[in-house]
Structure 1
Amino acid sequence: MTTPRTEHLVLPGVLTAEQAAETVAGIRAVQREDGAIPWFRGHHLDPWDHTEAAMALDAAGEHQAAAQAYAWLARHQNEDGSWYAAYHDGDFRRPTDLSRESNFCAYVAVGVWHHYLATGDDAFLDRMWPVVFAAIEFALRLQQPGGQIGWKREADGTPVADALLTGSSSVHHALRCALAIAAEREEPQPDWELAAGALAHAIHRHPERFLDKDRYSMDWYYPVLGGAITGAAATARIERRWEEFVVPGLGVRCVLPNPWVTGGESCELALTLWAMGESDRALEILQSIAHLRAPGGMYWTGYVFEAVGDSRRAVWPEEQTTWTAGSLLLAVAALGGDEATTAVFGGDRLPQGLPPECCTR
C-alpha cells in the first residue's frame, strides 16, 4: 500500500511506491545539512538544479527539506539579486564559477511558487518574496530591446547580451511564476508583465534574436515547456523534430548528432508532452529511460547507445545527479496529478504577461 507521500509518484513501468521512496531518499542523502543540494557530493551546486531538486522534494511531501533548500538560497543571495553559477559541493564559501546566469537566478520564482502551492505557507512566501523580487530584477536587467534575455554577467560584471533560447524560455516560466506570487501578495508588477509579454513574443516570433543552438533538444522543447509557445504551434514544433531527437525505447538525445540519450532531457520532454495534453506519449518517454535507473534509486545522467570510434555503448558520464532524479519525480508528479506540480507546469493558472502592441503571439 502506498503512503500519502508517494501515492501520486507511482506510475506503471516508471516507479513503484518503493522505488519512488528510494529515489527521494537518494536526493535527501545528497542534501547537505545547510540545505544545499549539489549535483552529487563532491561535485558542484548550481542554483537552477538545486531548485529543481527542491521542487522534487516538495512533490514527494518532503516540505521541510525543500524549505531548507530555499533558505540556503535566501542566505547566500548576492547583493545584486544573483547567485554564482557554481559552488563546490554546495559550499557557499567556495564558488567555482563567478559568472551569474539569468535563468539560473530567475528560477527561484518557480520553486518558491511551487513550494507555496504545496504547503500554503504564507510565512514562507513573505520571507522569500524579497529574494524572488531581487532575482527577477537581476534577470530583467539583462533583457534586450528585442525582448530576449541576455545570458549572464561575467565575473567582473560585464553583461553578456547574447541570448539562449532555452535560458530565455526558462526565464519566461519564472516570470510567470513571479507574477503569480506578486498577485497572491497583491503587489502588482506591471513592468514584469510587459517584460514577460515581450519575452514570449521574441521566443515565438523571432528565433533570430537567439544564439543558434538548434542541435540541442532543449532548444526544441523548452519554448513549449516554458509556456511561450502553446496550442497548435506547440504541437507543430514538437512534431517537426520528433524523429531527430527521440530514440524509441531509450529516451531523448541531448545534442545532435551524438548517439547519447539523457535522463534530464527525457523527463523534461515528458513534462512538455504532459503540458500539451499528451500524457500517453509522456508516459512512453518516462518508461523508456528505466535503463538509466541505478541501484539505490538514483539515475545515471545519460547513455551512449552506439559505438563511436574506440568507445563502446555505455553509461556516460558515470554520475548520478540529483537533478536527473528530480526531473523524473516532477514529471511523474505531473502525470499523477499533484496539484502544485500541475499548477506550475500546466501554465493555465499562471499570468500571461502583456504582449507587445505590434502584433499578437
Structure 2
Amino acid sequence: MPTAELPAVPGVLSARDCRLTAETIAATQESDGALPWFTGGHTDPWDHIENAMALTVGGLWDQARDAYRWSAKTQRSDGSWPMQFRAGVIENADSDTNFCAYIATGMLHFLTSTGDSEFAREMWPTVRAATDFVLSLQQGRFGEIHWSLGAEGSSGEALLTGCSSIFHSLRCALALAEQMDDPQPSWEVAALRLGHALRDHPEAFLDKSRYSMDWYYPILGGAIRGRRGYDRITSRWPDFVIPTLGIRCVSDQPWVTGAETCELVLALDALGDQRRARQLFINMQHLRDPDGSYWTGLVFTDGKRWPEERTTWTGGAMLLAADALSRSTPGNGIFRDLLPGVRNSGCCCECAAGLYPGPS
C-alpha cells in the first residue's frame, strides 16, 4: 500500500499548509465517524464524502475510513441516506439522489489513492445499494434523475448540477464495479441516458442558471468536455468571475465562495486550462484562516465574510483542487479522467427509445 504524498502548490501552499487544512477537518469528526459542516453543525451525506476525500488527500487515511464506515452504518435498507443529521440524530429524513450517489466517487478516490482493495470490497455493497437507489429515480424522456424522494414520493424534478454530479458518480461506480469484478451493464445504460440529457436537453432540468454550479458542473462531472466545455466556460465567465477574489455563488449577488471557486478550478483543470485554474486557486486564498481552515465566502461589496462559518467542505474542495493542480496523490485525476459510461455522441431523440431505453 502506498504512503501518503501530500499536495503542494508552489508559491501558494506548502505540503504542511495542506496537512493543516486536513487536520482542521479531522478535528470536527464526531465519535461515530461523521464529518459535519463545522463542530456542532449538521452532517449531510454529500459534504461528508467530500470531507472524507479531503482527509484521504491529507494523508489521514484512518479518519477517512471511519468516515466511510459511518456512511455504511447509516445507510438505509433501500440504499439511501437521510439528507441531514446532527449529532447522530436525523433532522431531515428525505433523500437527495446526488447526496446518495457521491459515495461511489469517494470510494473510487480512496481506492485509487491508497490501493486498499480490501476496504473497497468492504464498502462495495454500500456503493452498489446506493447506486441502485439513485437509478430507481431515473425518469423522464431524456434520462434525467429526480433530485429527491420523501414520504410523499419523488420530487418529480431534476437539477442540472445534481445530475451532473450523479453522472460523475455513475462513472466512478462503473469503474469500481470493474475493479470488484461485479459488472453492472444497466448502470452503463443509465449513464448514457443521463449524459445525453446533460449534453443535449437543458429543458429536462429546472432553471437554476443564476447559480455558478449550473455553469461549470456539466464539465466537472464529465458530461461536457473539449471545445464545447471551453465555450461553455467562456460564455458566462464575466457573469461569475470576480478578479482577485474567486467566483460568485449566484450571478446577481456580490458574494464569492471558496468551494465553488475550487470546483471551477477542478473543472478548468479537467479542460486542460491550468493557467486560469491556478490563478483562481490563488485568488480564493484570502478565505484561509491562520489555522488552515477556510471561511465559506466573502461579500465583496462590504468586505465581510459571510456566513461567519469556516466550513469543512470549503477546506475539502481546496484540498481536492490543490491535489489536482499539483498532480500529487494517485487520486488527483478523480475529476479529470474520463471513466466508463462516457460517450459524446450527438442527440438523436427519434431513436432514443432504442439507444437510451428507460421507463415507459
Give the TM-score category using the shorter length: over 0.9
Give the match for residue 351 of structure 1. 340
Letter in 2 for 1:147: G
Give the match for residue 265 of structure 2. 270
Give the match for residue 148 of structure 2. 152
Greater mean alpha carbon deviation, residues 140-149 or residues 315-324: 140-149
Structure 2 residues without counterparts, runs of 5 or longer: none
Greater mean alpha carbon deviation, residues 196-205 or residues 141-150: 141-150
- The one-character-per-residue Cα deviations of 1:211-270 (angstroms, maximum 9, x if unpaired) are 000000000000000000011111110111011100000001000210000000000000
Structure-2 separation of matches of 1:347 and 1:238: 19
Structure-2 separation of matches of 1:197 and 1:326: 29
Give the match for residue 12 of structure 2. 14
| Distance change (3 Å), C-alpha of 1:225 and 1:53 | same
Structure 1 residues without counterparts, runs of 5 or longer: 307-311
Q: 1:55 aligns with which of 53, 56, 63?
A: 53
Letter in 2 for 1:62: L
Structure-1 separation of matches of 2:236 and 2:172: 28
Structure-2 separation of matches of 1:142 and 1:338: 37
After TM superposition, give the deviation of residue 294 of structure 1 in Å. 1.3
Structure-1 separation of matches of 2:68 and 2:276: 33
Structure-1 separation of matches of 2:70 and 2:180: 23
Q: Tell me if the contact between 2:262 and 2:317 (Cα under 8 Å) persists in the aligned partners.
A: yes
Structure-1 separation of matches of 2:246 and 2:60: 28
Letter in 2 for 1:326: G
Letter in 1 for 2:288: R
Q: 1:314 aligns with which of 284, 304, 328?
A: 304
- The one-character-per-residue Cα deviations of 1:64-109 (angstroms, maximum 9, x if unpaired) are 1111100000011011101111101xx33x1111110000000000
After TM superposition, give the deviation of residue 21 of structure 1 in Å. 2.1
The structure 1 segments of at least 4 consecutive aligned residues displaced by more than 6 Å after TM superposition are 354-357
Give the match for residue 28 of structure 1. 26
Give the match for residue 230 of structure 1. 225
TM-score w.r.t. length of structure 1:
0.92
Structure-1 separation of matches of 2:15 and 2:188: 41
After TM superposition, give the deviation of residue 5 of structure 1 in Å. 4.4
Give the match for residue 314 of structure 2. 324
Structure-1 separation of matches of 2:12 and 2:23: 17
Q: Which structure 2 residues correspond to residues 39-188 of structure 1 after superposition, within 5 A?
A: 39-88=37-86, 91-92=87-88, 94-145=89-140, 146-154=142-150, 156-188=151-183
RMSD: 1.7
Structure-2 separation of matches of 1:320 and 1:108: 24
- The one-character-per-residue Cα deviations of 1:25-79 (angstroms, maximum 9, x if unpaired) are 1111111122110000111000100000100111121111111100000011011
Question: Tell me, what secondary structure is at the counterpart of 1:261?
Answer: strand
Percent of matched pairs sharing the same residue: 48
Q: 1:247 aligns with which of 242, 245, 251?
A: 242
Q: Tell me if the contact between 2:8 and 2:328 (Cα under 8 Å) persists in the aligned partners.
A: no
After TM superposition, give the deviation of residue 19 of structure 1 in Å. 1.7
Greater mean alpha carbon deviation, residues 214-223 or residues 11-20: 11-20
Q: How many residues align?
A: 347
Q: Tell me if the contact between 1:74 and 1:131 (Cα under 8 Å) persists in the aligned partners.
A: yes
